Amino acid sequence: MNRDEAIDLLKQKGYKATGKRKDILWFFEEADGYRTAKDLTRFMENNYEGISYDTIYRNLHLYHDVGILEATELNGEKHFRMNCTKHHHHHFICKDCGKTKEIAVCPMDDVINALSNYTIEDHKFEVYGLCPACKTA
């Protein structure tokens, strides 16, 4: 998803695309991988001195709830990234820097066979480790 698609989605859901909200979208559009609320706060403080954590968290959760941001848990902290809407795929996520790499493999065929009596509504497959840059650092 890009920033323009995200703004359109916000408006479709009845939310305003304020300057702060657009700046948050720009931050995630430019980010290479998952980022924390702390990362976003540091970025936003450059233009919005004294911005509150409440504002940051409220917008992060809004964006997640409407499908603009994906979320994952890394090192006990929630991390966010712009939602991928191109095609079905999964991610390798670096535990140090948060960078992601697309994984084309999906284990759902095996899972569906193993859970034949169950109704699966959604899934998420993530692999965690170190990217080449963090591995050599």
Asked whether this chain's domains 3-82 and 90-136 adopt the same fold, the reply is no
CATH number at 3-82: 1.10.10.10
> What CA–CA distance (Å, rounded) separates 8 from 15?
10
127 membership: H or E segment, kind and range:
strand 126-129
pLDDT at 65 over 70: yes
User: CA 134: distance to chain centroid?
Assistant: 20
pLDDT band at 86 (very low <50, low <70, confident <90, very high): low
Mean pLDDT of the chain: 91
22 membership: H or E segment, kind and range:
helix 19-30
pLDDT at 9 over 70: yes
Sheet with strand 100-103: strands edge to edge: 100-103, 90-94, 126-129
| DSSP secondary structure letter of residue 130 | -
| DSSP secondary structure letter of residue 35 | E
pLDDT at residue 67, rounded to an integer: 92
pLDDT band at 123 (very low <50, low <70, confident <90, very high): confident
Q: Which residue in this structure is represented by tokens 């305003």? A: 16
Most confident of 61-65, 100-104, 110-114: 61-65
The rounded percent of the chain whose pLDDT value lies above 70 is 99
User: CA 65: distance to chain centroid?
Assistant: 11
For the full predicted model, state whether its pTM sits above 0.85.
no
pLDDT at 28 over 80: yes
How is the chain split into domains, by residue range?
A: 3-82, 90-136
pLDDT at residue 100, rounded to an integer: 86
pLDDT at residue 37, rounded to an integer: 95
pLDDT at residue 107, rounded to an integer: 87
SS3 string of 59-108? HHHHHHHHCCEEEEEECCEEEEEECCCCCCCEEEEECCCCCEEEECCCCH
Domain 90-136 falls under CATH 2.40.160.10: no
The rounded percent of the chain whose pLDDT value lies above 90 is 60
